[in-house]
Structure 1
Amino acid sequence: MRKFRQHTPDNWRLWRRMTAVVAVPLVAATLYGSLRVYDLYQENDAYSAAAENVSILPTLADYATSVAGAAAATILSIPVDNGAQVARESAATLRDHIDTKDLDPQIAAMINRMLAEGESLLDSASSGTLAPTVASERAEGFVSRAQAAYRAITTTTDDPTVQRESATLLDLWHTQWSLLDQVLAYSALSAGTDGALLMWNNALGVESARLAVLRDTFVENEAADASKVDGLMSQLENRRSLTANLDNEEGNVAALRGSIFESLMVYQEQVAGSATRAVATLDDLAAEARAEALKNAIGIAIVLALALGLAIVIAMSLVRPLRRLRDDTLRTAEQDLPAALAAIKDGAEIESVTLDPVRVHTREEIGEVARAVDSMNEGALRLAGEQAQLRRQVNEMLETLARRNKTLVEQQLALIDSLEHEERDPTRLQNLFALDHLAARMRRTGDSLLVLAGTRQRLGRVPDTPLVDVLRASVSQVENYQRVNIGNAPDGNLVGSAVTDVVHMIAELLDNALRASPPESTVAFAFSRAVDGGLLLEIADRGIGIPADELADINMRLGADGETGSGAARRMGLFVVARLADRHGITVRLRPTFDSSTNAGITASIYLPTSLLKGTGRNHDDPYRIDRPRRLPDPPSEYGEQFHADPASGSQPVVGHRHSAPTPALATPGTSPGIRRGQLHERWVPRGAGQ
């Protein structure tokens, strides 16, 4: 279902939607235009086929006339002469036309039947064995077939001009066959058949009536053809006069033959002329159809090209500003806006921080969206400025509060210190030591507030300090310091600029480890050298551990340059550690202490780079040469057992001894500040440090 929704138009990209919008009318127009062009080409083919059909009419007329003439000669008992040769040549032409041209199958079949019947009639007439009456009957049948083929050819088109020429052709065709009726009537008249004179007069009357119609037609259209009809009328009158003297049969037959021959020549000439005009008209119509089809095809192509070009221009006018809007918005969201927010966070004035507007300057909907995005970005900057101002105010309040509190704590520590110097009662002195330790922890809380406020402590120059003193100072700032095992701390010093922050950072991690582990367990240190000469310091506890996903989130925050987040208030100590580590390029990571699903504990790994260390060079007796600390095995069942390093690692045991409760001891005035009174409980200030 989800895959189906991804392919719905709502999820289409803009170019696909534009393509769909443009494609529908373009496809419809293309189909319509293609159908129109197809119809025109079909019309061209129809006209061309009709022209091919009509072009054989003169040959068909020659053949039919030759065969009918041979039959008439047989009826009149005169020689066939060369009519048979003309008929055979015309038949060969017709067959070649049928074989090479794309004639209508029905017309081709009709012509083939006519040719077969005509050849049979011609052979019989040429052999002289055909009786006049049989010749008359077969001639009438042949003429009927010829007329059917003639009519089928002339009715293959519906163009008015072609139909008019076709009608003229049919009229000429029917009129000329009245000559055969005249031959039959004259033969009957010569034989003295009853009703022969009526047949003769009817045959002459039919030709006369049809010639009158043809003359009217030619007068309206072709004056030259009208004069030809007048000649046919003259020949008709000549044949009419033959009945005046029937005794001169030989002379009448010769005159009749000559007159009919002259009339046939005129009829054939007129048939050929009408057929030529019809073919020319059909060719013109076919050419017009081809030209119209080509014109339509070119016009459709031009319209489609213009429509497609216009669609592309419109689509680009939409897609380009949208792409520009997308690119500028993404650039602002991913680069410009974070940089501007970082500048505001670093203290830049809101008036000096600007964002480039979206490069869409139109006034339509896309331009309005671009202006809305600009307004949104300006609103984000304004809100960021207000937040930065609020954050600065809160940080200033935190700093002021922390410094005031720290001043009071310093005064309290000074007072406690003076009381310690004057007190001689061991019990009260022990209480003063505890109060001193509590005040030192309060001072660390004030230092944490300064870190949260983004302010560094105002200290004088701090000298390079031994690592063991740094660790002891860190231990002295946590509750339940008796549970911490420092072990064999490595030699070397920590540079003075990082001493205060490293002490604070280790104290925060120790505080977390002590709070998260059982009260009867210990928290141990482990040390190893890194490949690049840095020092890896680890603080391991036996607490309940942290879930893997939450641990990954904590490590991400520890490496995020101390950026505040939703969990900063809940894990303020880790937030302070992240900021302090970021100041000096220190890497802090958390991992499980043991490979177990319960009570896995947490080991905090602190990597001190070589830039913070002095006097920690390696030698062949260096016991801290573990390049990569390994995870401890599963813890023993009782928490009272001491930690031991992984035997496979070759490292020093992480537990050397356990600190007992501090023993009260008096400090003599003027002694140098150090780890006094049991080395853990008193506040610690490096030598030379300012207050």
Structure 2
Amino acid sequence: MTVVVAVPIVAATLFGSLRVHSLFDESRTYSRAAESASILPALATYGTGVTGAAAATILSLPVDNGAQAAAEAEVQLTAFLDTKDLDGQTTVLVERVLAEGRSLLDSARSGTLAPLVASERAEAFVTRVQTVFRSLVDDTGAPAVRTSGATLSDMWGTQWSLLDQVVAYPSLRDGTEGALLMWSNALGTEAAKLSVLREEISSDPGADDALVDTLSAELDNRRAVTADLDSAAGDVNALRTSIFTSLMAYQSGVADSATRIVAVLDDLAGEARTEAVKNAIGVACVLALALTLAVLIAASLVRPLRRLRNDTLDAAEVVLPQALAAIKDGAEIESVSLPPVRVRTREEIGEVARAIDSMNEGALRLAGEQAQLRRQVNEMLETLARRNKTLVEQQLALIDSLEHEERDPARLQSLFALDHLAARMRRTGDSLLVLAGTRPRLGRIPDAPLVDVLRAAVSQVENYQRVQIGPAPDGSLAGHAVTDVVHLVAELLDNSLRASPPESPVAFVFSRAIDGGLLLEIVDRGIGIPPEELAQINKRLASGDANTSDATRRMGLFVVGRLAERHGITVRLRPTSDATTDPGITTSVYLPTTLLRGTDDHDDPYRTERPRRLPGEYSGPKRPGPRSLVPAVSPKPRAGLPS
């Protein structure tokens, strides 16, 4: 229910958050653009001052007014560059405008500029300032700002078409035909640009249409004065006055456009911010409504679902495992029951609860059937094993009597071989009893010396001649564990002998653990076991569980695990060496102090001050097999068996 409700809520939240974030980001963009565009008035003032000083130079007038205006504007621009975070390209352009303006002002103050040179440098400076205008306006991306920016750029370009008139003005006094033509061309250029400017202003809602009319009127006035220059009423000074009147009108229009651009950007930023707040409030209201409806709808479902979940988990993790364990331990199926799930509704959740109850009952019934089948199989194994052992015991008694009566060495050797084979058959019967979960029916057995225990284990394996016992440590083994330890060691020896070359020996290595226990290691140089398989074998040896698919293939190892678990013995396998071929396996058998009798470790030559490698499972890298603490004994052929 949570997922079903959460998906549309998360989707709505995501899209709403993206919309709100986009609006806030748009607001920040417009705010940064307005902050950057706030340089436009100062830049326009600076450009006008520098260009006006150049125009004054052409007209042989003082440049102080233009230079002073440019100096004041330069202070503002420098402070702006130091405090505002402008785009890198825009910063470079503004710094270049300032550098060119200073150079042009210095030349204008020196009075060394020729009119044409001053005109060219002034026009280049005007173009540079116009480039900065476009760069600042184009970065905003708002259509209204682009329109006002186009008006500003065109008005700035049209304004400085007056430079051509300023250049031609001094020549009008001479009254030459060339001067008059230059002046007329300059007037025509301004007229053409004014027509374009009129179209731009008409598409700009915030622009003043009357400004173009004023500029056109002044242009017509200059044309009229120019036409009367040949008459006595002609006044050349009136042309200069008209030029400066138009220049003031242009400057007013440029300043108005720059201010309007900043205002438009501020308005756009405010609108985007307001829209973002409205969207955020709307998204929050929708989410609150959706969450409220979800809670109301889920309230009728969550309670039974939670009860169903809790009861199901309790049954799966606690109650059902306990019931299955009780059945496995022998409890009757009728005496084991599971509490039903506490959901009594008749809709789908209640049907699921009844289905879970049916599944639990089926699991209990199946567990009971399996436990009954397991008991029957164990009883069959026990019966067959005991019958087999009875026959083997009779066979051993008969062979023993024949051995006492036989005097022929050849036949006596054959009887010894039969005796050995029967002993191994008896061990197989004991293994079946172990897997069936029962113990051999033995009376009280006295404590046995450790060396006798090892010899008894050796006598139950094939190729016993390859086993090197060496001097065993003093002490005895507790009587109740003698039979099982003999069986355990025999199974391990049998594995080592079968997995190693026929000519290689299998040796015992002894060492005393720090806590007083005895560590017995069986070392061979066989084919070894892959690391992954070795880890699984050690895990199964530790658990002692024979109910796996590998129980039939490795019955001896599972018997060892059961016997070790019965007496608290730890058995682990590890590689004997790091060789890639025939690394061998070293089997470590740790006998705890509870199974040892008569061992005093104060002067024990086998005691070693090393940390116990057991009972923790070996998971480290391969290491070489231990060096024997006793001299190796070369195997010698023997006619008989160990006593």
Asked whether the equivalents of residues 594 and 632 of structure 1 are also in contact (C-alpha less than 8 Å), the reply is no
Conserved? CA contact 1:624–1:652, under 8 Å: no
Corresponding letter in the other structure for 1:446: G
Residues 399, 462 of structure 1: CA spacing in aligned structure 2 closer, same or farther, 3 A cutoff?
same
**1:601 counterpart = 2:584:** yes
Aligned letter for 2:642? Q
Q: Residues of 1 paired with 2:550 and 2:532: CA distance? A: 14
Distance (Å, rounded) in 2 between the aligned partners of 1:321 and 1:633: 56
* 8 Å Cα contact 2:399/2:419 also seen in 1: yes
Residue aligning to 1:330: 313
Q: Is the 8 A contact 2:545 2:558 kept in 1?
A: yes
The 5-angstrom pairing of residues 610-629 of structure 1 reads 610-625=593-608, 627-628=610-611
Question: Could you say if the C-alpha distance between residues 466 and 17 of structure 1 is closer, same or farther in structure 2, counting changes exceeding 3 Å?
Answer: same
Q: Is 2:416 the partner of 1:433?
A: yes
Matched, 1:15 2:2: yes
Residue 514 of structure 2 contacts residue 612 of structure 2 at CA under 8 Å; is this kept in 1? no
Matches within 5 A, 1:548-587: 548-587=531-570
1:462-477 equivalence runs, <5 A? 462-477=445-460
Rounded Cα–Cα distance in structure 2 between residues aligned with 1:354 and 1:633: 50
Q: CA deviation at 1:634?
A: 8.6
| Counterpart among 646, 649, 652 of residue 629 in structure 2 | 652
Q: Counterpart of 1:289?
A: none
The structural deviation recorded for 1:352 is 1.3
**One-letter amino acid matched to 1:475:** V
State the SS of the aligned residue for 1:528. strand
Contact 1:528 1:626 in 2 (8 A): no
Distance verdict in 2 for CA 1:435–1:26, change over 3 Å: closer
CA 1:483/1:561 → structure 2, altered by over 3 Å: closer, same or farther?
same
Q: Residues 623-660 of structure 1: CA distance to partner in whole angstroms, max 9, x if unpaired?
A: 3325358999998xxxxxxxx843xxxx514x631443
Q: Equivalents in 1 of 2:383, 2:337: separation in Å?
A: 32
Contact 1:484 1:658 in 2 (8 A): no
Name the amino acid aligned to 1:411: Q
Q: What CA distance in whole angstroms lies between the structure 1 residues aligned with 2:591 and 2:511?
A: 11
For residues 635 and 496 of structure 2, what CA distance do their matches in structure 1 show? 17
State whether residues 569 and 592 of structure 2, in contact with CA within 8 Å, keep that contact through their aligned partners in structure 1. Answer: yes
Gaps of at least 5 residues in structure 2 are 16-280, 614-619
Report the residue type matching 1:548 in the other structure: P
Measured after TM superposition, the shift of residue 562 of structure 1 is: 2.7
Say which SS state the counterpart of residue 543 (structure 2) adopts: coil
1:663 aligns with 2:639: yes
Which AA in structure 2 matches 1:331? D
Letter in 1 for 2:3: R
State the distance in 2 between where 1:380 and 1:574 align: 31
Write the distance in 1 (CA, Å) between the matches of 2:609 and 2:406: 48
**Would the aligned equivalents of 2:523 and 2:587 in 1 still touch at CA under 8 Å?**
yes
Q: Quickly say closer, same or farther: Cα 1:623–1:369, change in 2 above 3 A.
A: same
Structure 2 residue aligned with 1:221: none
Work out the CA distance in 1 between the residues paired with 2:598 and 2:474. Answer: 7
The 3 A distance-change label for structure 1 pair 529 and 25 is: closer
Aligned twin of 1:206: none
- Structure number, greater radius of gyration: 1
> Could you tell me which residue of structure 1 aligns to residue 276 of structure 2?
none
Cα deviation, 1:356-391, whole Å, max 9, x if unaligned, reads: 322333221122112212211211111111111111
- Size of the alignment, in residue pairs? 370
Is contact 1:593–1:632 with CA below 8 Å preserved after alignment? no
CA distance in 2, matches of 1:632, 1:25: 55
Match runs of 1:360-379 below 5 Å: 360-379=343-362
1:245-284 maps to which residues of 2 (within 5 A)? none
Does the 8 Å CA contact 2:450/2:473 hold for their aligned counterparts? yes
Matches of 2:533 and 2:11, distance apart in 1: 55
Gap change, CA 1:526 and 1:27, over 3 Å in 2: closer
Following superposition of structure 1 onto structure 2, how do residues 154-303 of structure 1 map, counting pairs within 5 Å?
Answer: none
Deviations 1:259-286, CA, capped at 9 Å, x for gaps: xxxxxxxxxxxxxxxxxxxxxxxxxxxx
The residue type paired with residue 660 of structure 1 is: K
Q: Secondary structure in 2 aligned to 1:527?
A: strand
Separation in 2, partners of 1:21, 1:436: 82
Query: Does residue 356 of the first structure (1) align with residue 339 of the second (2)?
Result: yes
CA distance, structure 2, for counterparts of residue 423 and residue 414 of structure 1: 14
Deviation sequence 1:92-114 (CA, Å, 0-9, x none): xxxxxxxxxxxxxxxxxxxxxxx
Instruction: Pick from 386, 398, 420 the counterpart of residue 403 of structure 1.
Output: 386
The code of the aligned residue for 1:547 comes to P
Counterpart residue identity of residue 419, structure 1: L
Tell me how far 1:424 sits from its aligned partner. Answer: 1.1
Instruction: Give the alignment of 1:334-349 within 5 angstroms.
Output: 334-349=317-332
Does 1:448 pair with 2:431? yes
Q: Which whole-Å CA distance do the structure 2 matches of 1:418 and 1:522 have between them?
A: 33
Aligned-residue Cα RMSD (Å) equals 3.0
Is the Cα contact below 8 Å between 1:513 and 1:523 reproduced in 2?
yes
Alpha-carbon distance change, 528 to 628 in structure 1, aligned in 2, over 3 angstroms: farther
Residue of 510, 517, 527 corresponding to 1:527:
510
Question: Which amino acid in structure 1 is aligned with residue 301 of structure 2?
Answer: L
Measured in 2, the distance between the counterparts of 1:352 and 1:576 equals 32
Per-residue displacement from partner, 1:6-25 (whole Å, max 9, x unpaired)? xxxxxxxx313134468999
Say which SS state the counterpart of residue 573 (structure 2) adopts.
strand
Q: Is the 8 A contact 1:15 1:319 kept in 2?
A: no
Tell me, in whole angstroms, the C-alpha distance in 1 between the residues paired with 2:476 and 2:524.
26
Work out whether residues 538 and 604 of structure 1, in 8 Å CA contact, stay in contact via their aligned partners in 2. yes
Change (3 A) 1:320 1:597: farther
Q: CA deviation at 1:579?
A: 0.5
| 2:300 corresponds to 1:317 | yes
Asked if structure 2 preserves the Cα contact closer than 8 Å seen for 1:527 and 1:535, the reply is yes
Whole-angstrom distance in 2 between the partners of 1:407 and 1:524: 33
* SS class of match (1:377): helix
Q: Distance in 1 between matches of 2:14 and 2:524?
A: 76
Give 3-state SS (helix, strand or coil) of 1:403's partner: helix
Bigger shift: residues 465-474 or 364-373: 364-373
- 3-state SS of paired residue (1:570): coil
Q: TM-score, normalised by structure 2?
A: 0.54
Does the Cα contact within 8 Å between 1:488 and 1:656 map onto a contact in 2? no
CA contact (8 A) 1:596 1:634 kept: no
Q: Contact 1:528 / 1:629 at 8 angstroms: preserved in 2? A: no
**What is the alpha-carbon distance in structure 1 between the residues aligned to residue 532 and residue 622 of structure 2?**
22
- Contact 1:529–1:627 (CA<8 Å) still a contact in 2? no
The one-letter code matched in structure 2 to 1:501 is: D
Letter in structure 1 aligned against 2:457 = S
**Whole-Å separation in 2 of the counterparts to 1:584 and 1:409:** 26
**Per-residue Cα deviation, 1:181-204 (whole angstroms, up to 9, x for no partner):** xxxxxxxxxxxxxxxxxxxxxxxx
User: Does the aligned pair in 2 maintain the 1:542–1:602 contact within 8 Å?
Assistant: yes
Q: Aligned partners of 1:626, 1:569: CA distance in 2, in Å? A: 40
Equivalent pair of 1:22/1:311 in contact (CA under 8 Å): no
C-alpha deviations, 1:242-300, integer Å up to 9, x for none? xxxxxxxxxxxxxxxxxxxxxxxxxxxxxxxxxxxxxxxxxxxxxxxxxxxxxxx9xx9
- 1:484-531 per-residue CA deviation (whole Å, 9 max, x = no partner) reads 111221111110111111110110000001111111111111111112
Aligned residues with identical type, % of pairs: 71
Matched position secondary structure for 1:525: strand
